[in-house]
């Protein structure tokens, strides 16, 4: 493992008691922050995005067609 430990070394941290605790009123040291992913994440498939778009357009067109047909039939009475 080549990464450095983000936690401070308790032997060289001022204010720590022998058991690793801190004195009353003292603030414990903050750990270092690490972030990132371990490997590149795969890109989502573009085919799925296109499929959802086509499906959404078809469903909206069917619903709009239904209401338009209903409106035309209602007005022709």
Dump the DSSP string for 5-68: PSSPPTTT-TTB-TTS-B-TTPPPPPPPP----SSPPPPPPHHHHHHHHHHHHHHHHHHHHHHH
Higher pLDDT, 71 or 4: 71
Q: Indicate the pLDDT class of residue 64, thresholds 50, 70 and 90.
A: very high
Q: Is the dihedral of CA 54, 55, 58, 61 positive or negative?
A: negative
Q: Find the length of the chain.
A: 77
When pLDDT is cut at 50, 70 and 90, the band that residue 4 belongs to is confident
Tens-place pLDDT, residues 18-61: 777 777 777 665 655 566 667 777 887 777 788 899 999 999 99
pTM value surpassing 0.85: no
- Amino acid 75: pLDDT: 94
Choose between 34 and 70: higher pLDDT.
70
Token pair recorded at residue 46:
């573009």
């Amino acid at each position: 493992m080549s990464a450095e430990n983000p936690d401070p070394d308790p032997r060289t941290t001022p204010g720590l008691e022998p058991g690793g605790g801190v004195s009353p009123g003292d603030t414990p040291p903050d750990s270092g922050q690490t972030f990132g992913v371990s490997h590149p994440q795969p890109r989502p498939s573009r085919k799925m995005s296109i499929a959802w778009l086509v499906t959404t357009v078809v469903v909206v067109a069917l619903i709009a067609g239904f209401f338009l047909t209903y409106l035309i039939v209602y007005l022709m009475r």
